[in-house]
A and B are shown apart, each in its own frame.
Chain A
């Protein structure tokens, strides 16, 4: 079983739409969670950390559900510039150094 699973998409949405991605993880001992953004052939860039109580950064909202072992990302009022791939990242292991990336969900925002 994969440590982290994500729907690869693609999600094609019109400008201004709201879109949500989920990411499930298999290890209940996972300790920290992140959403990244990756543009084609570029390095991943941190979008936001995911906190237990949920957190928001502008148009982006992240949530963690430990009971069901998933994290989510909500993007409101989608912009053309949001078009990218969004991998989730889960951190586990005794020393907290085993990182597992999802394949990423591909988002295209259409004018």
Chain B
């Protein structure tokens, strides 16, 4: 059972570079989410996709874009990376309303 798979696991970028973080789930979940976690803080929601074909902003969407490619895949793009975007990024999915989320093991992103 793969669950939620994120790629890459680690990445180092230079300021201004672009990058796409990939997320795929094999649990046939409807909703998918992208979070960031900074040291000493809780996870903060960047964007979510309630269902295939829809995306919405979360708490901290600035500087990011997302694409729900199909039911399985939800990608997060940084168009012009900034040092403030250095963080651990987690993708999650869930079946539906009032259900818990299941997380991938994260992407550690450093921007120099």
Decide: B42 and A46 in contact? CB cutoff 8 A.
no
* 8 A Cβ contacts from B7-45 to A: 31, 33, 35, 40-45
Q: Enumerate chain A residues within 8 angstroms of B33, measured Cβ to Cβ.
A: 97, 99
Q: B58 contacts A96, CB within 8 Å?
A: no
A63–B106 alpha-carbon span in the complex (Å): 29
A34 to B40, Cβ gap below 8 A?
Answer: no
- Are A96 and B98 touching (Cβ within 8 A)? yes
Chain B residues within 8 Å of A102, by CB: 42
Q: Identify the closest chain A residue to B40 (Cβ).
A: A103
State the Cβ distance, B57 to closest chain A Cβ, in Å: 10
Number of A interface residues, CB 8 Å? 26
Between A and B, how many residue pairs show CB distances below 8 Å? 55
Q: Does B56 contact A (CB under 8 A)?
A: yes
B100 & A101 in contact (Cβ 8 Å cutoff): no
- Complex alpha-carbon distance, A87 and B101, angstroms: 13
A44-B41 contact, Cβ under 8 Å, with A32-B98, A91-B98, A99-B33? no
A81 at the interface (CB under 8 A from B): no
Chain B: number of interface residues, binned into ranges: 20 to 34
Chain A residues closer than 8 Å to B72, beta-carbon distance: none
| A contact residues around B44 at 8 Å (CB) | 101
* B50 surroundings in chain A (CB, below 8 A): 95, 97
Cα(A99)–Cα(B94), bound, Å: 12
- Some 19 contacts from A to B, beta carbons below 8 A apart, are A32-B98, A34-B100, A41-B88, A43-B105, A44-B43, A45-B103, A46-B100, A46-B101, A46-B102, A87-B43, A89-B101, A97-B56, A99-B45, A99-B101, A100-B59, A101-B35, A103-B40, A103-B41, A103-B42
Give chain B's interface residues, CB within 8 Å of chain A.
Answer: 31, 33, 35, 40-45, 48, 50, 56, 58-59, 88, 90, 97-98, 100-106
A-to-B contact residues, CB < 8 Å: 4, 6, 8, 31-32, 34, 41-46, 49, 87, 89, 91, 95-104
Task: Known pairs A98-B45, A101-B35; list 16 more (Cβ under 8 Å).
Answer: A31-B98, A34-B100, A41-B88, A43-B104, A43-B105, A44-B90, A46-B100, A87-B43, A97-B50, A97-B56, A98-B58, A98-B59, A99-B101, A100-B42, A101-B42, A104-B42
